[in-house]
Structure 1
């Protein structure tokens, strides 16, 4: 049976300038990428977002339809669709500039099995209040709530306000994923080990910190996995964290609670493999279920023979 996920957050146009000077336009936004990734893995996905009634908005709508993602009916409004411009440096890392608008209407009853929140939509007024209301409703309904803050400090309010919003959402969250950059922004005086412990003490049952090419650490109250990244030839890193998140949510919904050490190791393997597939391709291009299963099988065989 397909499990259902409501993803809440931004959908926008990515204008990416590559090191050779070429400019490529595609749809993006971390929550949109997570929604597409979940759909490709076989989840039933609805995206609650904010797009304009312009050509960019119509482009996003068409792509979501092609990817099998349902667009919430209140997501389209008058006005312009948000645009993020990224310049790819020689090391493959993107540098961002944003022209954004964010507001959203709170849905009625939360019927999805899981609700995913995050990125600037969780922090940018006026829509941040609606995101918090959705988190409360999902929590009250007993749904799985996941959070990826995906901090982009240049776009956000002052840091103290972002940290306050983060902790308001954290206490409503079952699963939280930070990048090492997110952790540095939110907890500048803490080691990553202490960050994981602190996150768990605030309510989530699973906390994760990703470290790019150094892999990721997964921690619950009873288990911990420090998983190295899978070897990959990096084209760029756009969308890698979102593919990681899609694989995380999809696998979690198929994994009985509580998460023991073996289950956590399997979860980690899924996530880092999905991310490795994505960094080997240009842009935010998450794997299909078949691609992920094939890569997991190949990696398992190579580990068995190493």
Structure 2
């Protein structure tokens, strides 16, 4: 184990399936397994993760395969289900007791959904933060347009917009650009492959099954997200049914720009406390007209 600079307390290196894995941990208490977003690593979220640990949780945050120094998965395993299986083996290799609270951002949310669906004994509750899986890009008169139809240039345009307003640039740009650039240079194929997984992920059936099982799920969403538009959130909510959905001010990466809000949300979830007044309620899926079936 080697010490890391910055608020995340410990950086570890080990082996899962005979391949290198890098992960971060901090704190003592109920375990929060954090799964990061596309092209990033836990380093991008270190401020919020350290503060959650300081509030009485044990945060465990692996760099997912292909990112942050963790070896990529074999090609046959490079699917959302394959990533979820890897997470289960990772938890066993580092000796973490399960079930755990899983917090997944963006691509990490999709991995969390498959983890909860495929290995329910591992996940006690799930927090989806601007997560992939809703699969819908936009509503239309002929029915929903799927995320897989979205042009790559449109993804790139809105990803650039997601860097946020001027007040956040000083924090977001150095963190995200440094992390993403390092991952892209180290393993460009993995970055591309995961981008394609995120773009085409349709987890509505898995989300519906989690609803049927009664798994506690909280959805938290930055209202100004353009990387995953509102139609995707609506589809995700419809699949989950009467789930707790809260919104915050911010873009797709709001939890990086506002670690205090992120800390408060996760602390309240762990303590089963109400999230208001920090967050605003959104109408339940039952209050909205159902989207046409795809």
Provide TM-score, normalisation by structure 1.
Answer: 0.42
Provide TM-score, normalisation by structure 2.
Answer: 0.43
